[in-house]
Amino acid sequence: MKEFSHKVLQESKTDPEPSGEDHKPRLPLPPLVRIAIYDSFTSAPRIVDLRAPGVRQLMDLLSEKAYNFSQQKGGAVPYTTIREVVENLIHANFQEVVINIYEGGNVIRISDQGPGIPDKTRVFEPGFTTARGEA
């Protein structure tokens, strides 16, 4: 699964070079998030790319879409749970987010290529955060 997510991210980075004489400077694209929806564990996922003009709009769209896709697959994960995890991405310096929604809709895996958590044993401590680089 990790290899597939990495491949999906690599494909999203490739942007063909402009052709001809039209070499206008490119504006940076808004952040891209990919949702991979698995209809079965033996088939390739359906990929949905999401972009929004700003981080807040992207988080709103991402929460809504992840919830809706999960529900369509029969999932019972509450919207507020998905929203909270997505909101945490903002504070965790998110980069290249991929959300995997597995068969049945009750398993949702959110991964990114951010800096990670240096001391993973502290993750479950009340109040622990990496938002400011300290607990």
Q: Are strands 32-37 and 46-51 parallel, antiparallel or unpaired?
A: antiparallel
Between these two residues, 83 and 27, which has the higher pLDDT value? 83
Which residues does 20 contact at the CB level (< 8 Å), separation at least 6?
A: none
Supply the DSSP symbol for 121.
G
Q: Name the pTM for this structure.
A: 0.68
- Residue 8 pLDDT > 50: no
Average pLDDT over residues 54-76: 93
Query: Is 80 exceeded by the pLDDT of residue 85?
Result: yes
Integer distance in angstroms from the first to the last C-alpha of the chain? 31
Tokens standing for residue 46 = 């359906």
Residue 77 CA, chain-centre distance (Å), reads: 17
What the block records as the tokens of 10 is 């690599």
Q: Where are the alpha helices (DSSP H) in 78-119?
A: 79-91
Q: CA 67 to CA 27: how far, in whole Å? A: 31
